[in-house]
Amino acid sequence: MYGALWRALPGPWWLRLLLVLILVAAVLAALVLWVFPWADHFVTPQEVTVEQQ
């Protein structure tokens, strides 16, 4: 999969590396900005109050 991506990228190796780094940065940004805050809602305990049960 990643091998195929590497081969699909154009240009010499350093240009491919640059493109890969940009792609990785974009994916990381998307994770931190949107995916993780959304997933956090399901994972961490949300109850911090005392309530009549």
- Residues near another protein, by CB under 8 A: 1-4, 7, 28, 31-32, 36-37, 39-40, 43-53
Q: Which is nearer to another protein, 12 or 43 (by Cβ)?
A: 43
Distance (Å) of CA 45 to CA 3, 11, 19, 28, 51: 39, 48, 38, 24, 15
CA angle 36, 51, 39 (to 5 degrees): 10
State the nearest-atom distance from the C-beta of 18 to another protein, in Å: 21
State the nearest-atom distance from the C-beta of 28 to another protein, in Å: 8
